[in-house]
Amino acid sequence: MNLDLLTTLRQQNPIVLTLANDVTVQDVANGLNALGASPIMSAEVDEAEAMVTIAGAVCLNLGTLTKLQLAQMRAVGAAANQQHKPVIFDPVAVGAVPYRLQAAQTLLRAVHADIIRGNAGEIAALADWDWQAKGIDAGTGSGDLVAMAQACAQKYHCVVVLSGATDIVTDGQQVVRVHNGTELFQLHVGSGDLLSSLVAAFAAVQPQDLLAAAATAATVLAGTGELVAAQLTASRPGTFAMLLIDKLHLVTPAELSKIAVVD
């Protein structure tokens, strides 16, 4: 974890290509933009290679998949692998819908994901661990979440970010835990999608150390949310979402390092 990367990100303003879902696309674009990255979204297979060429990293979000979008993900993923641009994969709801799990597994055979970011239900499904996911949410289960994240990272030879009350970031061996956050994230649909695209933004500026990039992204989002929640006098998810965008724009590495609980 290296909060100075936030300054680097703002200086470099990396282009992040997100193949987004239809539900949270605007939150993701605004969150990236507010923090200091340059978002671009695309839905056209034929522009895949050109899009990857201008991007610093790509994020493939399975949230509202279609056969056409899966083909686009393969094209964008393959171009990113070829151009050595980091690929971040968000396997939305693969723990709850077998069709999605199969689609994700097929995609991951064709494209190397450098980082997979999901909640416990999604990472469990990819790692083939017993768990009861619920729709887009983590659901319930028992077991060692760190071992589960490590198993997923080893299986797919990548960095895994298993998000939740504690974000677990691992390359299969090393583990970083980010203990910051607020339960308000769970009341705003799209928090995970934003995290995945912010992971891509930090990967674009730190491609040589993806574990550090992912841990920094997790700390920045969870820490910023925590700072916002501390200002609210009641549980207000709508206000939280609005203030989160403002704070992503204003937050400093110094502010975050004061509250970061990372081990």
Ligand X SMILES: Nc1ncnc2c1ncn2[C@@H]1O[C@H](COP(=O)(O)OP(=O)(O)O)[C@@H](O)[C@H]1O
Ligand Y SMILES: Cc1ncsc1CCOP(=O)(O)O
Annotated binding site for substrate: 41, 190
CB of residue 64 to ligand Y, shortest distance in Å: 5
191 scored as a contact of ligand Y (CB under 6 A): yes
- In angstroms, rounded to a whole number, what is the distance separating the alpha carbons of residues 110 and 39? 25
Closer CB to ligand Y, 24 or 38, in the complex: 24
- In angstroms, rounded to a whole number, what is the distance separating the alpha carbons of residues 243 and 229? 9
CB of residue 222 to ligand Y, shortest distance in Å: 14
182 scored as a contact of ligand X (CB under 6 A): yes
Site residue total, ligand X (CB under 6 A): 17
Residues with Cβ within 8 Å of 48's Cβ and at least 6 positions away in sequence, in order, are 42, 72, 75, 76, 79
Query: Torsion angle, CA of 56/60/61/64, rounded to 10 degrees?
Result: 130
CB of residue 59 to ligand X, shortest distance in Å: 13
Binder among 36, 121, 192, 223 for Mg ion (CB under 5 A): 192
Site string for ligand X, 136-175 (x = CB under 6 A): -xx------------------------xxx-x--------
Sign, CA torsion 246/180/217/3: positive
Site string for ligand Y, 73-92 (x = CB under 6 A): -------------------x
Closer CB to ligand X, 150 or 182, in the complex: 182
Cα–Cα distance list, 207 to 86, 150, 248 (Å): 7, 20, 22
CB of residue 117 to ligand X, shortest distance in Å: 8
What is the DSSP track for 211-228?
A: HHHHHHHHHHHHHHHHHH
Binder among 2, 10, 13, 23 for ligand Y (CB under 6 A): 23
Residue 23 structure tokens = 């539900």
- Give the residues across from 162 on adjacent strands: 118, 168
Return the ∠ at Cα 131 (arms to 136 and 182), rounded to 5°. Answer: 50
190 scored as a contact of ligand Y (CB under 6 A): yes
Q: Which residues make up the interface to ligand X (CB under 6 A)?
A: 119, 137-138, 163-165, 167, 181-183, 185-186, 191-192, 195, 221-222
